[in-house]
Structures are given as C-alpha cells and as structure tokens.
Amino acid sequence: MKFFSQSFLYDDPWPIVSLAFFLRYPNPYASHVLSCDVISREFTPSGSLLTTRLILKTATLPRWAPKGIISRSESLILEESEVDPHGKVVRCLTRNLEHVKAMQVHETQTFSQVGEGRTLQTTEARIVSGFGWGLTRQIENYGLARFRKNVQRSREGVALILDLIRQARMQPMTVGSSYLNPTSASRFTTKPRAFDKSASQPHQFPETGDPSLQT
C-alpha cells in the first residue's frame, strides 16, 4: 500500500476555485478523461450541495505488466462531492470502479478558504494492488508515480479554467450567455468529447468497486 499527501495554496477566493474545480473538464491537461456525467445532484437540509459524477478515463499499464491484467483500456471513476457554502469547504472523494484487483486508488480532496482571497487544496490518496505474483509493490510504485504526475496536470488544468473565469468576469454578460463558455476550454483539446451531461443512458456499475486514479 502506498500513500500520497500534498497541499497547494491558490491565490484566488474559494468560490472561484471551487467553480473552476467543477468546470475542469475538458482541458488540454486531461486528455485521458473521455467523459463526465452528472448522476445525481441534491441539497441537504443544511444547504450543502451533494453531487455524484461518473467519469470515464483511459486505463493504461506499463509495458512490463502481464497481458490481460486489465480487461479493457478504459476505467469508470466515481466522484462524490459536497460543497459546504457556510463552512466554505469542498470535499471530494473519488475511486475507480473497474480494474480494482490490479490497482485501487482512493483519493480525497478538500478545498477550504484560507484568510481573505486564498484557497487551500489538500489531496490525499491510498494506492493498493491485489494482483500478487510478485508484482504488487511494482504496480503500487507505478501507480504512485503516475498519480503524482496526474496531480500536477490536474492543477495546471484548474489553473487554466481559473484564467478563463477571470477573463469571463472582465467581459460584459449578455442575455442568455453563460458565466464561462465551455468552448473556451474545449478549443484546447485535440478532439471533441462530451462532458458534464446528465446521463441519458446510465453506465452499468461493476459488481466490484473501490478507489481511483483520479485527478
């Protein structure tokens, strides 16, 4: 089992960073993300917003991994988040629903307000492989190294969306326009993909499920 923990301080207010986090797909630093579907969204009696999203990502293993260790080259990720507007904190849990024997990654992220106009992001992850055959440690080390890279790329993606939000705030709003035009980030991607849509045809959840190579 491998563990990861890292904190990062944004020089942007919590509401803007939280918005950028939920709008982070698509972006040119997340080419491994194929789709993002909102499964459910509701308010709690205390006013917190609960959201469940299903994210489809590419799934790859190194060349030294045995053939057939994963059944397909894609993986479903479950993302469960809570936005607490009173405590000014976002909590997000993600885990992979497929290929859990090869590797399970359980990720926790929090975004909390720090003073005036700054936001602290904390990321923690637990990486576990149950594959065996003398490859457990090797697979876990690979997963940890890849997770570190994904965290950095995710941060760069959020930074890009933050920049687009700043640009949007500087321009006058017209009737019927959105706060952030989705095509602003889409133009950086190499091919069109569908993101953040209500799932008209829900994905089938595997019977086994646990953590994710998130971010």
The pLDDT assigned to 104 comes to 96
With bands split at pLDDT 50, 70 and 90, how would you rate the model's confidence at 71?
confident
Widest CA span of the chain, in angstroms? 61
**Separation CA 78–CA 147 (nearest Å):** 16
With bands split at pLDDT 50, 70 and 90, how would you rate the model's confidence at 18?
very high
Is residue 162 a part of any domain in this protein? Answer: yes
Q: Which range marks the domain in which residue 54 is found?
A: 2-170+179-198
Rounded to 5°, the CA angle 101-157-102 comes to 5
Is residue 185 a part of any domain in this protein? Answer: yes
Helix/strand/coil (H, E, C) string of 38-51? Answer: EEEEEECCCCCEEE
CATH number of 19's domain: 3.30.530.20
The SS3 of residue 126 is strand
The pLDDT assigned to 64 comes to 86
Q: How many domains does the chain have?
A: 1
Is residue 22 a part of any domain in this protein? Answer: yes
**Separation CA 89–CA 176 (nearest Å):** 30
Convert the pLDDT of each residue in 161-198 to its tens digit. 999 999 998 877 565 555 555 444 444 444 444 444 44
With bands split at pLDDT 50, 70 and 90, how would you rate the model's confidence at 213?
low
Convert the pLDDT of each residue in 26-41 to its tens digit. 999 999 999 999 999 9
The pLDDT assigned to 27 comes to 95
The pLDDT assigned to 66 comes to 84
> Mean of the pLDDT values across residues 76-105?
97
Higher pLDDT, 62 or 199: 62
Is residue 65 a part of any domain in this protein? Answer: yes
Is residue 203 a part of any domain in this protein? Answer: no
**Separation CA 159–CA 142 (nearest Å):** 26
Distance of CA 51 to CAs 18, 145, 177, Å? 13, 29, 24
With bands split at pLDDT 50, 70 and 90, how would you rate the model's confidence at 72?
confident
Is residue 210 a part of any domain in this protein? Answer: no
Is residue 29 a part of any domain in this protein? Answer: yes
Is residue 20 a part of any domain in this protein? Answer: yes
**Separation CA 198–CA 202 (nearest Å):** 9
